[in-house]
Structure 1
């Protein structure tokens, strides 16, 4: 695993369900170890007789109940993942899997089960004195309090976990975070693209998949070491095949010859800065959140679901996400001046967000009107004429689809009037 892969692994580590399980289990084992090995160092006042079977009885109850609760929790989580994939979009499943509340609940229950089992084994081995049993008993009371609090929170969380509004909120939050970062650094901290000179060294992908991350800092370090410029071709979210161009290097004669050792070393460094995986992620991809929201709305508009209200909610979420882009202020100075990174085109973002809803919601006047209303709001806050032109272009295409899909004259006139209002605002 290269440096980019390790950094990505460490960044995603807290989102892994086994990570929290391992931490809580380690804490449970540590508590038993402290009660066993260090209790004799405590004052004699801790030597309290709670009865021969007090601690073991409680631990047996915990061991029996926590195994059942853990199984129930895992079943509920899997059901929520499946329901979200069926009712919204499979692109939201990764957000549900990384949900901290469900991970904390499962970790607490399994950690408590391990604590109870290890405690019972230690008690059976007669490894505890009076002080040790006292510490174990007090620790058990603390664990019970934590379990009760976690269970209450988990039950409340299950009432909405994986439901359509919950999934929409999660996708919107992930898309908003990514879009806010993108608005601050549309070139990922690098500089705007320029024309690439002839003879530039092309760095090609070694595997097929989605580019999920570009380590611009690593590209800057590689470029600065040999005095070159790097021009990124594959942005996060783009699909590349084996041999597709990831970047091009220009500026130094010693690295332009593909067969030179310097060229091979630089090519390896540049290639290692691109993380290619099988599935898209939300981390650096501002388009994926809009794609996922549009898929949720599009599925709600399918004849089998027929839920235009969800599509209207999705359009509200899309408006809030795009607002972050339009009102965001880019940083004044780029961090990496040797790396040229193209920005995502606003037309592409609008197509990702509105085209599926305009296509599938064409026969529904309420969807067509809400699309025009959202575009009108965005036109009013668009910071440049180019942005307004892109929004009005999307307005015209969406209105054309709505007019073609509607069979009532009043509905057609309403959509056309809404589109005319968007153009008035843009003018």
Structure 2
């Protein structure tokens, strides 16, 4: 928990870097280059008799083949990845594309292909310049055989991976995974590990952002350390996902503090141009709903995807009440953070589907059943707001469907949400 959801700004920035494809590609490439060069260092430890059994030209031919083939494979892999990103952007939602870009297997495969290409080039250059003796060629030969085996396995897995990568179902599952992780993290440590909100004193000083964008991450641990050190009380004004600007404060601070402390407080709030999933459970409900809305558009007309999204959203919301609180809950006594409003999450999850699928009885029935299931699963938390959305969805659908059996069936389903006979 502390290593991810409640991690400090430094750990957050490191995670942002390690998720980038260039980072993995660089590591694999450096490892490949070192593997090629270390053969010259290991050469003195190779028996001379073994070097006689390995032909001098064997390594040259293999490396030449690998260099030419890996260039083609890398180009193919990049083209397939870009196609998947474009497909997700046009057929699912642009907000889910980053999850495909961050896919670890894709990054590892591309990094392996690039690293192998560089290994081959460095090996050929070293052989041409005479860096290796006969014994060094032996080491390079066995290293090359090992890399060929790795490439064969990676390529086969990559081909299998492409069969689902970037498809609608695959993207929905990826969004659900990160959304459930964020919701479970919030349930384990509500208010980001801080205290619930209280009334902000009039003497509190507002801290504003110098940037315009979305709150992506809040270093609550860093704020708590600063508050303990300088005897402050910090009231966070908005949760990750909130749009901040020069007129909307990041936090209110009670107590005396200097400019250095002000800079530290400001630095604890990471502001980006796009929302992120990690500390933003609501974003994990907005993205699948966008997928459903696109599927319900007249151009796509895919109610099955919307129905699948409703099941995904239901599982995410259930995690909020099913996950037990962890040891990090409320551990920062001098920092207060807002509530995660259930009404807002239901608005994010169900209102767009109720609007865009108003004329499709199958979607409306599944929507009512999902709301009824949530109301029954956690009556104290969900029943009232679920009944409100059931009424609103029925009103929209009745107006769109007109008179007929569909409206009667839908009315009966809406009554189940309100627990009416």
Maintained 8 Å contact 2:9/2:219: no
Q: Distance in 1 between matches of 2:285 and 2:177?
A: 11
Maintained 8 Å contact 2:8/2:220: no
Q: Residue 53 of structure 1: SS of its match in structure 2?
A: helix
Q: Select the residue among 286, 297, 302 that pairs with 1:307.
A: 302
Q: Does 1:17 align with 2:21?
A: yes
Aligned position for 2:289 = 294
Q: Distance in 2 between matches of 1:383 and 1:189?
A: 25
Q: Distance in 2 between matches of 1:371 and 1:324?
A: 18
Q: Select the residue among 393, 398, 405 that pairs with 1:398.
A: 393
Q: Select the residue among 340, 346, 353 that pairs with 1:350.
A: 346
Write out per-residue CA displacement over residues 57-92 of structure 1, whole angstroms, 9 at most, x where no aligned residue: 010000000000000100110110010010010010
Q: Distance in 1 between matches of 2:326 and 2:215?
A: 24
Aligned position for 2:320 = 325
Q: Select the residue among 53, 61, 68 that pairs with 2:72.
A: 68
Aligned position for 1:171 = 175
Aligned position for 1:239 = 243
Maintained 8 Å contact 1:222/1:266: yes
Residue correspondence of structure 1 range 19-418 to structure 2 within 5 A: 19-250=23-254, 252=255, 255=256, 262-331=257-326, 333-382=329-378, 384=380, 386-418=381-413
Q: State the TM-score, normalizing by the size of structure 2.
A: 0.95
Maintained 8 Å contact 2:184/2:323: yes
Q: Distance in 2 between matches of 1:406 and 1:396?
A: 15
Maintained 8 Å contact 1:4/1:272: no
Q: Distance in 1 between matches of 2:396 and 2:323?
A: 31
Q: Distance in 1 between matches of 2:174 and 2:309?
A: 12
Aligned position for 2:3 = none
Aligned position for 1:258 = none
| Unaligned stretches of 5+ residues in structure 2 | 1-6
Distance 1:91 1:198, change over 3 A: same
Please say which of residues 231-240 and 8-17 is displaced more in the overlay: 8-17
Distance 1:321 1:40, change over 3 A: same
Q: Distance in 2 between matches of 1:331 and 1:396?
A: 36
Q: Please identify runs of 4+ aligned residues in structure 1 that moved more than 4 A.
A: none
Q: State the TM-score, normalizing by the size of structure 1.
A: 0.94
Distance 1:198 1:281, change over 3 A: same
Q: Distance in 1 between matches of 2:390 and 2:297?
A: 22
Q: Distance in 2 between matches of 1:228 and 1:9?
A: 26
Q: Does 1:419 align with 2:414?
A: yes
Q: State the superposition RMSD in angstroms.
A: 1.6
Q: Distance in 1 between matches of 2:246 and 2:166?
A: 36
Q: How many residues align?
A: 414
